[in-house]
């Protein structure tokens, strides 16, 4: 797969959902719904790019960012668990100790609806942004080692696209299916 480049799989910025950093979460969610309906996307965007006043991409708002800000106790939890080691007992204890998701969903949603995107967006470090000419192998490595999804892609110093894990998986699946199978194993229907 080293011959497949990130630019061959990414979604160009101009085709991706974008909002200004002073947009509220509620407005951003409305935009995602409208764009999904207007464009009749089979896989609508669930993340949104954030632009500054010059229309440069300065961050992204992901599903995880929204969930974490709906229940801000996660920030306390993650600051105490620097290694992100989450075994089953730790997770259960933390859920109880921090009263996570203790409030009704309506209350949590109301709390975040009018928050400005710039307050909760994720700003990727340079080391988390891939180059258009990077191999898909490098992208896979980035996902596995925990780069915040989706991955932003740049050419020179400008963000030019978004690489989603699902789109990368489609390429991996195509690659697996194109490999010759040396056994007689088949899928039984």
> Residue ranges of the domains in the chain?
6-178
CA–CA separation, 47 and 140 (whole Å): 19
pLDDT of res. 187: 58
* pLDDT value of position 189: 56
SS3 12: strand
Give the model's pLDDT for residue 19.
Answer: 95
Q: Which residue has the higher pLDDT, 95 or 174?
A: 174
Q: What pLDDT, in 10s, does the model give residues 81-99?
A: 555 556 677 777 777 777 7
User: What percentage of the chain carries pLDDT values higher than 70?
Assistant: 86
Q: pLDDT value at position 186?
A: 56
Reduced to 3 states (helix: H, G, I; strand: E, B; else coil), residue 44 is coil
* Predicted confidence (pLDDT) per residue in 101-153, tens digit: 788 888 888 889 999 999 999 999 988 999 999 999 899 888 888 788 899 99
Structure tokens at 130: 């891939």
Higher pLDDT, 34 or 180: 34
Q: What is the mean pLDDT of residues 175-182?
A: 72
* Average pLDDT score over the chain: 84
pLDDT at 80 over 70: no
Who has greater pLDDT, 151 or 181?
A: 151
112 CA to centre of own chain: 19
- CATH of 6-178, picked from 2.102.10.10, 3.40.50.2300, 1.10.10.10, 3.10.580.10, is 3.10.580.10
């Amino acid at each position: 797969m080293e011959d497949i480049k990130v630019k061959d799989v990414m979604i160009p910025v101009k085709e991706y959902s974008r909002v200004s950093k002073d947009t509220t979460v509620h407005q951003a969610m409305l935009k995602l719904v409208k764009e999904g309906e207007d464009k009749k996307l089979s896989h609508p965007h669930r993340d949104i790019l954030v632009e500054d006043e010059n229309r440069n991409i300065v961050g992204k708002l992901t599903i995880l960012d929204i969930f974490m800000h709906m229940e801000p106790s996660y920030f306390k939890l993650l600051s105490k668990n620097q290694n992100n080691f989450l075994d089953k007992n730790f997770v259960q204890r933390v859920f109880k100790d921090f009263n996570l998701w203790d409030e009704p969903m309506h209350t949590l949603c109301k709390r975040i609806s009018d928050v400005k995107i710039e307050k909760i967006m994720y700003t990727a470090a340079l080391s988390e942004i891939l180059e258009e000419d990077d191999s898909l192998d490098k992208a896979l490595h980035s996902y596995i080692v925990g780069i915040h999804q989706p991955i932003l892609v740049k050419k020179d110093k400008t963000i030019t696209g978004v690489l989603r894990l699902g789109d990368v998986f489609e390429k991996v699946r195509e690659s697996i299916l194109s490999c010759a199978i040396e056994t007689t194993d088949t899928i039984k229907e």
